[in-house]
A and B are shown apart, each in its own frame.
Chain A
Amino acid sequence: MIALLRNPRLHLVLRLLLGAVFVYASLDKIWDPAAFARIVYQWQVVGPVPSNLVAVTLPWIELAAGLLLIAGVWKRESALVIALLLVVFIVAAGSVMARGIDVENCGCVSVAKAGPPSDWPPAWTKGVGWFLVSRNLVFLGAALALAIVTPQRRA
């Protein structure tokens, strides 16, 4: 297992994928911060003004960490930043689910208003629920692997 996790090719693939996901996820939120602030507020984890501050800053942290990860600069630290964000997302999603709040669009990638129910992709992939938590746990595993395991030097 450790040998597999130390495989430099695996590191490269994880790094590019995770970085791309975070860069892509940041763009729509950066383009329309007010729409993202509405979604953060809907999560009801923080109040209206803190929601604004989260909405304005969070996508830029995602973008910065994602770009560094893709570029292979400060890999460990950018992977740790992403891991930290993912832990926050998972805890917040758990809190939303425990309180039974219905968030139709988690705002993870797109801040567009939820379309009609027949839209593809299905609603459960967009809202806050088990799908989101599972996906984030997979991302967290990848981020922690990048942050903690040192890739084997090629001989």
Chain B
Amino acid sequence: MHRDGACYFRDMAVHWKRFILILVAGVAAGFAWNAASGRGFALGRSVLVQAGDELVEAADAGALLRRGALFLDARPRDFWRMSRIPGSLPLPEEDFDRAFAEAEPQVRRASGIVVYCSGFGCEASHIVARKLRERGFIAAILDEGLPAWQDLGLPIDAEPRS
């Protein structure tokens, strides 16, 4: 009964319900897997934040700087050489032990410590703060890192260092 044209046209049709169903099934499976597989993680906070991490907002960190807290730069050392939060010391994640040996006297004297890196997906500040914690020093992590700091117009020392 069907003419070729009719069949062809029926073939062309996209079933949008199926399209939506694939998306919905994928989303549902993802949440179920995250909840039940044992491989999931807490969805409600940044994946970089672990239990014990202490975060400080940029505005509060600015106040800490004015009160003389020590800032530690967890980015690669070349970034610190180019520009940095005033008075900060380099403590790159990948060269932690050596850099810590250099910074240790000031870390011991510090009245407060803030670790920062380049923000967003940067995990270095979290890792450095945890390594400091292992050594008995409480260090806060600058939430969202340098971009948040710069957004508030807080000071940056851009004089190149060797």
| Chain A residues proximal to chain B, CB less than 8 Å | 30-34, 37-39, 41-44, 48-49, 51-53, 55-65, 68, 74, 76-78, 80-81, 147, 150
- Which residues of chain A have C-beta atoms less than 8 A from B23's C-beta? 61, 81
> Which residues of chain B from 38 to 66 have any CB-CB distance to chain A below 8 Å in the complex?
39-41, 43-48
- Which residues of chain B have C-beta atoms less than 8 A from A49's C-beta? 43-46
Q: Is the CB of A64 within 8 A of B25?
A: yes
| Smallest Cβ-Cβ distance to A39: which chain B residue | B121
CB proximity of A136 to chain B, nearest CB, Å: 19
User: Assuming the A-B contacts A64-B22, A74-B18, are A30 and B47 also in contact, with contact meaning beta carbons closer than 8 angstroms in the complex?
Assistant: no
Pull 8 A–B residue pairs with CB atoms less than 8 Å apart, ordered by A.
A33-B41, A37-B41, A48-B47, A48-B48, A49-B46, A51-B47, A63-B26, A77-B18
State the main secondary structure of chain A at its contact with B: helix
- Which residues of chain A have C-beta atoms less than 8 A from B11's C-beta? 150
Q: Is the CB of B43 within 8 A of A61?
A: no
| Chain B residues proximal to chain A, CB less than 8 Å | 8, 11-12, 14-16, 18-19, 22-23, 25-27, 29-31, 33-34, 39-41, 43-48, 120-121, 123
User: Assuming the A-B contacts A58-B30, A61-B26, are A77 and B19 also in contact, with contact meaning beta carbons closer than 8 angstroms in the complex?
Assistant: yes
- Which residues of chain A have C-beta atoms less than 8 A from B27's C-beta? 57, 60-61
CB proximity of A36 to chain B, nearest CB, Å: 9
Q: Is the CB of A64 within 8 A of B29?
A: yes
Q: Is the CB of B123 within 8 A of A38?
A: yes
Contact of B22 among A39, A59, A78 (CB under 8 A): A78
Contact of B30 among A38, A60, A74 (CB under 8 A): A60
Contact of B47 among A37, A60, A76, A77 (CB under 8 A): A37
User: Assuming the A-B contacts A41-B120, A74-B22, are A53 and B43 also in contact, with contact meaning beta carbons closer than 8 angstroms in the complex?
Assistant: yes
Tell me the complex Cα distance, A80–B29, Å: 19
Q: Is the CB of A38 within 8 A of B121?
A: yes
Q: Is the CB of A56 within 8 A of B22?
A: no
